[in-house]
Structure 1
Amino acid sequence: MTHLSPMALGPAPEYRRLVEEMPILLWTADATGRWTHVNGRWTEYTGLIGEAQGFGFEAALHPEDVAPTVKVWTAAIHSGQPYDIEYRLRNTHGQHRWFVVRGRKVATPGADDVTWVGSCTDIDAQKQAETAALLAQRSAVRALGLALEVRDGETGGHTDRVVAQALALGRALGLNATDLTALELGATLHDVGKIGVPDRVLRKPGVLDVDERALIHAHPTEGVRFAAALGFLPPAALGVIRHHHERWDGHGYPDELAWDQIPLLARIFAVVDVYDALISDRPYKAAWTPGQAQAEIARQAGLQFDPQVVHAFLELTAS
């Protein structure tokens, strides 16, 4: 294998030189997906030429990005469709930077071995800015969640516990990173609608009357209205806030959704939210033991909760 420069992509040597010296990373691959050539910028950045399989396509990737990248690349080879994917690429100093990779299938007269061409464009500064913004958003959301916890009379870190438990359960159920982020945000602000519920109702030790119960039942819709005004929560996070009091049997609120009409993230969070409420002291009840709470969660499978989510939760809490 050699650099792109010895390869005749066209009749003009000037064109070959231009491609070789482009400031972005360029590559070509054959119909099977095997990288056949790279330009000088690729070699300069990665330090890999032909010694590594595919010019270091996998060798230079961040370990966490190998599987999803190969999956997208394999699908593109089979479908022939163009693709874009973001991944982290290691440089000669061992540092990883973010790139957006764009691959397109081509037919080039006089160069039958060229089937795919692609570019790798450095977007690390953009990704760093996005990460910083996301961290700031998460910090603000967590601060609001903790304030709501105090307002609601919660004690002992309820917000942090349910977020951690929801994320652990989401991972056990195979959620991707996007859904896990939405679950985290929705879980943190799940009761934001209780801002509009008076203290006398929130902290009432006895049974709620009809009007008081109506105020409580309105908090998911009020929560969505408030959370949506923040302007950055994804729809899936808003779904957790609105639907975490729905029931599998359709007798929940506010929309009386049933079964898989209820968003999966809300079904996941409902289990951990109830479990944490059961094992915590509340104005109207003493804390249950973990065993008692697990037994109640199991009993409600197929009634209040999605049975598959309950099964995963019980396996998780038993380990």
Structure 2
Amino acid sequence: MAHLTPTALGPAPEYRRLVEEMPIMLWTADVAGRWTHVNRRWIEYTGVIGETTGFGFEEGLHPEDVAPTLAVWTEAIRTGQPYDIEYRLRDQAGGYRWFVVRGRKLAAPLADDVAWVGSCSDIDEHKQAELQALAAQRAAVRALGLALETRDGDTGGHTDRVVRHALSLGRALGLSAEDLTALELGALLHDVGKIGLPDTVLLKPGALDDQAWALIRSHSAEGERFAAALGFLPPAALAVIRHHHERWDGQGYPDGLAWDRIPLLARIFTVVDVYDALVSERPYKAAWTPAQAREEIARQSALQFDPQVVDVFLSSTPVPEER
């Protein structure tokens, strides 16, 4: 049980009074990372004091932000490194606003075992504007991905499915919010390079000749070039687009990368992309059953796919939906 008190900061009354009167939320924590003091602003906003558990702040967090916040905080305690993290904090009326919390470890503990000091600053207006801009970007990227999907002869929802499955797998693997966003954007535009392929190649039934196959293989590098020109995709999203046809054994394209030299997000995406391709009908193949597709994914572990990603894919809940 973490016992928070608004007057447990140390022996200097004037310093305590100054901290109490500050218009932003301030806190201290002991060497184990348990919050030992919060100032009046924290209490006025959250109403949380004394009854909290764990590190002392979880009670006020949005449920979706608890796990990533605790992960960052636990790592900071282990390393002693300063950290900043954004999370949503509940007010006494039950609403949430975005804050950035900043924690710094002291060179030596103060009175009452104070080893960490930090602040919580309201960034809600900035964060809402950022989220709105991101939503607009996602909508534009999704529209482009759906247009490419239609040209590819697939109107069955491939784009939305692989995005949904990739995010599910990414969460099961413990990706950060930043990485999940990059994975989503890369998944939406993974085949954008096909925009330059002629229909005679893209829609050709049956086997491809060497020239057509060379054009097909060019789409991932061309896709990265096109997506980079949009100007707002993060490097990790561009890596998904470029490297989602690499293979764990180094026999993929465009760069022949192997093992963990393949960016993690691309290793994640390629599993769900191949799974969806297997269970979908194409001009050159019939749809496989979900069981057949999962067996193939397992068979290609440590050959085409990262074995750790395959293990999580096959065991995660919920399992990628079977059509």
Quick one: distance in 2 between partners of 1:58 and 1:212?
A: 56
Which residue identity does 1:245 align to in structure 2?
A: H
Percent identical pairs in the alignment equals 74
Larger deviation, residues 183-192 vs 82-91 = 82-91
Larger deviation, residues 58-67 vs 161-170 = 58-67
Partner of 1:292: 292
**Root mean square deviation, CA, Å:** 2.9
Partner of 2:122: 122
Which residue identity does 1:153 align to in structure 2?
A: G
Which residue identity does 1:259 align to in structure 2?
A: W
Quick one: distance in 1 between partners of 2:230 and 2:104?
A: 38
- Aligned-pair CA distance for 1:93: 0.9
- Aligned-pair CA distance for 1:63: 3.0
SS in 1 for 2:97: strand
Quick one: distance in 2 between partners of 1:107 and 1:254?
A: 49
- Aligned-pair CA distance for 1:148: 0.3
- Aligned-pair CA distance for 1:23: 1.2
The 5 Å alignment of 1:144-159 reads 144-159=144-159
Partner of 1:64: 64
What TM-score do you get using the length of structure 1 for normalisation? Answer: 0.86
The 5 Å alignment of 1:299-318 reads 299-315=299-315, 316=319
Quick one: distance in 1 between partners of 2:56 and 2:299?
A: 53
Quick one: distance in 2 between partners of 1:108 and 1:247?
A: 50
SS in 1 for 2:99: strand
Larger deviation, residues 294-303 vs 149-158 = 294-303
Q: Deviation per CA, 1:75-104, whole angstroms, max 9, x where unpaired?
A: 444544433222222211111211112223
Alpha-carbon contact 1:5-1:20 (below 8 Å) kept: no
Quick one: distance in 1 between partners of 2:158 and 2:109?
A: 65
Partner of 1:230: 230
Structure 1: runs of 5 or more not aligned: none
Distance 1:167 1:112, change over 3 A: closer
Partner of 2:280: 280
Partner of 2:167: 167
- Aligned-pair CA distance for 1:57: 2.5
SS in 2 for 1:86: strand
Distance 1:34 1:195, change over 3 A: closer
1:214 aligns to 2:214 (yes or no) = yes
Distance 1:242 1:46, change over 3 A: same
Larger deviation, residues 153-162 vs 24-33 = 24-33
Quick one: distance in 2 between partners of 1:297 and 1:114?
A: 52
Distance 1:278 1:95, change over 3 A: same
Which residue identity does 1:280 align to in structure 2?
A: S
Q: Deviation per CA, 1:185-211, whole angstroms, max 9, x where unpaired?
A: 111111100011111111112332222
Quick one: distance in 1 between partners of 2:183 and 2:282?
A: 25
Quick one: distance in 2 between partners of 1:286 and 1:55?
A: 54
What TM-score do you get using the length of structure 2 for normalisation? Answer: 0.85
Quick one: distance in 1 between partners of 2:159 and 2:299?
A: 25
Quick one: distance in 1 between partners of 2:289 and 2:43?
A: 60
SS in 2 for 1:161: helix
Which residue identity does 1:199 align to in structure 2?
A: D
Distance 1:309 1:93, change over 3 A: same
Structure 2: runs of 5 or more not aligned: none
Which residue identity does 2:95 align to in structure 1?
A: Q
Which residue identity does 1:123 align to in structure 2?
A: I
- Aligned-pair CA distance for 1:156: 0.9
Quick one: distance in 2 between partners of 1:165 and 1:109?
A: 47
SS in 2 for 1:59: helix
Distance 1:75 1:109, change over 3 A: closer
Quick one: distance in 1 between partners of 2:147 and 2:16?
A: 62
Quick one: distance in 1 between partners of 2:256 and 2:110?
A: 64
Q: Deviation per CA, 1:138-193, whole angstroms, max 9, x where unpaired?
A: 11111110000011111211111222222222233333332222221111111100
Aligned match of 1:3 in 6, 26, 29?
Answer: 6
Highest CA radius of gyration, 1 or 2?
Answer: 1
> Alignment length, in residue pairs?
316
